[in-house]
Amino acid sequence: MRQNSIELRTLWFMGAKTRLCSEFIDGAVSDLLEPGGTILDLCTGTAAVGRFLSTRYRILANDVQNFSSVVASAHLEGDDAWFSAIEYLDPREDLGRAFESNLRLVTRLAPEALTTEDSLLDQVERELGVSDGPQTGAADRYRQFVAATPLPQVEPGGSPLFQPLTSAMPGLISQRRRDPTIEPAVLMTCYYTNVYLGLRQAMVIDSLRHAIAQIPETDPFARRKRTFYLAALLHAVSVSTSGTSHFAQPRSLEKDSELLAVVRRRRIDVEEGFYLALDAIRRELGESPRLGGNRVFGLPLDDLLAEGGPLADEKVDLVYLDPPYTADNYSRFYHLLETLVDYDYPELELRGGELTRGRYSLREHRFRSDFCKAGEVEGAFNRVAADCRRLGARLLISYSTDAGLMTKRWSRAGEEKPASRFRDMMRQYYPQVEFREKNLMHSGQGDSNRSVRELLILCEG
Ligand SMILES: C[S@@+](CC[C@H](N)C(=O)[O-])C[C@H]1O[C@@H](n2cnc3c(N)ncnc32)[C@H](O)[C@@H]1O
């Protein structure tokens, strides 16, 4: 794949694996499998690895998060008819009318707040964005504006500035919990305004999401178009969020520097970002044609690999397993993206009767991975290895020697060579197991510029 193509981020937070693809992971894959073979990217995430390999291998991709499987599907799946149709796709024709109609209705819910937001975002940028900017108190007025945002609760409450949304909120949400297709679509507006998104941004996202759902079943490419447009919308949302790179917590507005960063994100035009993302995906598919026959699944991996499961008729040559390293579940960190895809107005989690700062959906609706549980992670690796062996597939595992939940536990318990122990564990299933390590600078939140050892375990024979 061309370098400029792989640099396209499917989602903004895509990172480490892209940097590791070109030599480290690609080298191991080439040592395990001839081009033309079938690779199962079992925890595909942002689909970075599957995409990278897709010009030389057939790719099956899977992830339990729906937003990940949407992204993977847009980048990997499709037949010749679809790839020809993409060139002539007219998103404005497909989406324009339903988008405008929803936007007209949703903006009527908070006209004064929208005007105030537009003006305050400009004023804050002028006040804090340049040295010696005019000190008009805009930063504090914006803080007050954010504090006045109505909460997504069934009890009415909030400021008159957001009328009629403030009074209508309880009814809007309870109606749509019964029928999520009602126009105007308002989920992002009600749940995440001034938390992870600006008001106008949330309304535009709701309107695009609504328009995508409205593509008629009679359209021969209805399903593919919905997936393609939704992947572009996920990208646009992931680059516009005023959170950091994830949705575990919104940013605090206390410090002026944080406030300015948030305001700059809220000035991003999501609609423009959506069309740019569409063009980028379309260009990549044109420049780097896929081998064909790719399939995407959206299942817990134990279900996917189960005997008689969806892979029963597939010949899988190599499984690439890149599970979560830490106790942080992706379902919590990226809950907003999952809610955007599901678009079902979920009940939100309460603590002590109050909404959480992160506005998570109820815990029982969020998937909790065994790879994120200290007591389960070893068992999870053992099950995958046994399943892959039974499928007759080689196995390539990505993990972190230093930051991995399992390897870190072993180190803490006195194990001096966690990578060797991991290799020995896999030898119960495969006769030939090798490990490779590489130092990588981590630039994630809180652990900037820390060097960690990335680990690959190659299992075959
Ligand atoms: C480290 S990320 C994968 C990153 C990916 N290689 C990329 O390049 O973006 C781990 C992924 O595993 C998924 N996951 C965690 N537990 C899973 C399970 N039991 N079944 C399926 N997917 C799972 C998460 O949703 C997450 O997307």
Minimum CA distance residue for ligand 1 atom 13: 43
Res. 7 pLDDT band, cuts 50 70 90 = low
Range of the domain at 401: 3-78+291-323+378-460
Distance, CA 370 to ligand 1 centroid (Å)? 11
320 by DSSP, 3-state: which?
strand
Is residue 160 assigned to a domain? yes
- The count of structural domains within the chain is 2
Is residue 116 assigned to a domain? yes
On the question of pLDDT at 371 being above 80, the answer is yes
Mean pLDDT of the chain: 92
| Over residues 354-382, mean pLDDT | 92
Q: Are residues 118 and 238 in the same domain?
A: yes
Q: Are residues 304 and 401 in the same domain?
A: yes
pTM, rounded to two decimals: 0.94
Residue among 330, 332, 333, 399 whose CB has most ligand 1 atoms within 8 A, to mutate: 330
Is residue 19 assigned to a domain? yes
On the question of pLDDT at 157 being above 90, the answer is no
Q: Are residues 196 and 117 in the same domain?
A: yes
Q: Which atom of ligand 1 is nearest to the CA of 45?
A: 27
Exposed (0-12), middle (13-18) or buried (19+): which is 412, by Cβ within 10 Å?
exposed
Distance, CA 76 to ligand 1 centroid (Å)? 17
| Residue finishing a domain among 230, 254, 283 | 283
Minimum CA distance residue for ligand 1 atom 8: 48
- Number of other residues whose CB lies within 10 A of the CB of residue 36: 10
Distance, CA 69 to ligand 1 centroid (Å)? 10
Is residue 373 assigned to a domain? no
Minimum CA distance residue for ligand 1 atom 18: 300
On the question of pLDDT at 331 being above 70, the answer is yes
pLDDT for 5 equals 43
Q: Are residues 165 and 122 in the same domain?
A: yes
Minimum CA distance residue for ligand 1 atom 3: 45
Structure tokens belonging to residue 408: 């870190």
| Residue finishing a domain among 264, 283, 302 | 283
Q: Which atom of ligand 1 is nearest to the CA of 43?
A: 12
| Over residues 285-293, mean pLDDT | 90
Q: What CA–CA distances, in Å, run from 52 to 39, 315, 428?
A: 12, 21, 31
State the amino acid at position 359 in one-letter form: R
On the question of pLDDT at 177 being above 90, the answer is yes
Distance, CA 248 to ligand 1 centroid (Å)? 17
Distance, CA 45 to ligand 1 centroid (Å)? 5
- Determine if residue 132 is left, alpha or beta; phi over 0 gives left, psi from -120 to 50 gives alpha, anything else beta: left
Q: Which of 13-22, 70-79, 322-331 has the lowest mean pLDDT?
A: 13-22
Res. 333 pLDDT band, cuts 50 70 90 = confident
| Residue finishing a domain among 283, 313, 339 | 283
Residue ranges lining ligand 1, Cβ < 6 Å: 14, 17, 43-46, 48-49, 63-65, 68, 300-301, 322-324, 330, 369, 371
Q: Are residues 70 and 141 in the same domain?
A: no
Distance, CA 73 to ligand 1 centroid (Å)? 15
Distance, CA 43 to ligand 1 centroid (Å)? 4
Residue among 19, 42, 43 whose CB has most ligand 1 atoms within 8 A, to mutate: 43
Q: Are residues 50 and 106 in the same domain?
A: no
Q: Are residues 266 and 304 in the same domain?
A: no
| Over residues 86-115, mean pLDDT | 97
DSSP output for 370-433? GGG-TTTHHHHHHHHHHHHHHHT-EEEEEEETTT-HHHHHHHHTT-S-HHHHHHHHHTTT-SEE
Structure tokens belonging to residue 201: 């941004």
Distance, CA 341 to ligand 1 centroid (Å)? 17
Q: Which atom of ligand 1 is nearest to the CA of 323?
A: 10
Distance, CA 5 to ligand 1 centroid (Å)? 22
CATH of the domain at 411: 3.40.50.150
Residue among 14, 17, 42, 63 whose CB has most ligand 1 atoms within 8 A, to mutate: 63
Minimum CA distance residue for ligand 1 atom 1: 324
Structure tokens belonging to residue 21: 């693809």
Q: What CA–CA distances, in Å, run from 170 to 1, 194, 346?
A: 49, 18, 14
Q: Are residues 259 and 383 in the same domain?
A: no
Q: Are residues 127 and 238 in the same domain?
A: yes
Q: Which of 30-44, 329-343, 447-461 has the lowest mean pLDDT?
A: 447-461
Minimum CA distance residue for ligand 1 atom 5: 45
Is residue 336 assigned to a domain? no
Cα–Cα dist 310/82, whole Å:
24
Distance, CA 331 to ligand 1 centroid (Å)? 10
Q: Are residues 127 and 38 in the same domain?
A: no
- Number of other residues whose CB lies within 10 A of the CB of residue 237: 29
Q: Are residues 274 and 127 in the same domain?
A: yes
On the question of pLDDT at 1 being above 80, the answer is no
Strand partners, 394: 318
Over the stretch 22-77, which tens digit does the pLDDT of each residue have? Answer: 789 999 999 999 999 999 999 999 999 999 999 999 999 999 999 999 999 999 99
Q: Are residues 129 and 241 in the same domain?
A: yes
On the question of pLDDT at 131 being above 70, the answer is yes
Q: How many CA atoms lie within 13 A of 19 on its CB side?
A: 11
On the question of pLDDT at 447 being above 60, the answer is no
Cis peptide before 35 (omega within 30 of 0): no
Structure tokens belonging to residue 313: 């008729």
Q: Which atom of ligand 1 is nearest to the CA of 369?
A: 16
On the question of pLDDT at 227 being above 60, the answer is yes
Q: Which atom of ligand 1 is nearest to the CA of 301?
A: 20
Is residue 360 assigned to a domain? no
Residue among 10, 64, 320, 456 whose CB has most ligand 1 atoms within 8 A, to mutate: 64
Q: What CA–CA distances, in Å, run from 255 to 128, 251, 341?
A: 11, 10, 33
Is residue 28 assigned to a domain? yes
Is residue 346 assigned to a domain? no
